[in-house]
């Protein structure tokens, strides 16, 4: 098997609020159906779906790798639709902060060591 791409389907408890959240943190939306929106930032895509199951949403995680963690943190901190955000933490492999979306999905916003100045 030669995998060329993987895209996640993100659950949403409140579809309109989730649409606003992903737009606030820098993704551009493209309507697909009334129950599905594609969000894109650069070459990276994810699908937001009008589907919610609490157990799935509370265990759903994405790692979002960024080139500038401070810029990402400033942008995400301003989101009106986030549930919670941690401080930036330094790890042996880089830096990370955790951002909980409106459906309690967890985003690991990461700057890997090779992208640090």
pLDDT tens digits for range 23-57: 999 999 999 999 999 999 999 999 999 999 999 99
Q: Does residue 3 form part of some domain?
A: no
Q: Do residues 48 and 22 make contact, with C-beta atoms less than 8 angstroms apart?
A: yes
Write out residues in the chain with pLDDT < 50, as ranges: none
Q: Does residue 77 form part of some domain?
A: yes
- Count of domains forming the chain: 1
Q: CATH number of the domain at 48, please.
A: 3.10.180.10
Q: Does residue 94 form part of some domain?
A: yes
The angle at the Cα of 68, spanning 107 to 113, to the nearest 5 degrees, equals 85
The domain in which residue 48 lies consists of 9-115
Residue 114: what pLDDT?
Answer: 82
Q: Do residues 29 and 22 make contact, with C-beta atoms less than 8 angstroms apart?
A: yes
Q: Does residue 90 form part of some domain?
A: yes
Residue 81: what pLDDT?
Answer: 97
Q: Does residue 79 form part of some domain?
A: yes
Residue 115: what pLDDT?
Answer: 58
| Eight-state DSSP code of residue 41 | E
Q: Does residue 76 form part of some domain?
A: yes
Q: Does residue 2 form part of some domain?
A: no
Residue 116: what pLDDT?
Answer: 57
């Amino acid at each position: 098997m030669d995998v060329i791409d993987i895209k996640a389907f993100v659950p949403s408890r409140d579809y309109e609020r989730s649409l606003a959240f992903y737009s606030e943190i820098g993704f551009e939306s493209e309507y697909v159906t009334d129950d599905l929106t594609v969000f894109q930032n650069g070459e990276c895509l994810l699908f937001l779906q009008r589907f919610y199951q609490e157990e799935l949403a509370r265990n759903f995680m994405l790692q979002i790798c960024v080139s500038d963690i401070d810029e990402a943190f400033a942008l995400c901190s301003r989101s009106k639709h986030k549930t919670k955000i941690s401080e930036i933490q330094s790890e042996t492999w880089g830096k990370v902060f955790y951002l909980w979306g409106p459906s309690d999905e967890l985003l690991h916003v990461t700057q890997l060591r090779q992208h640090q100045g």
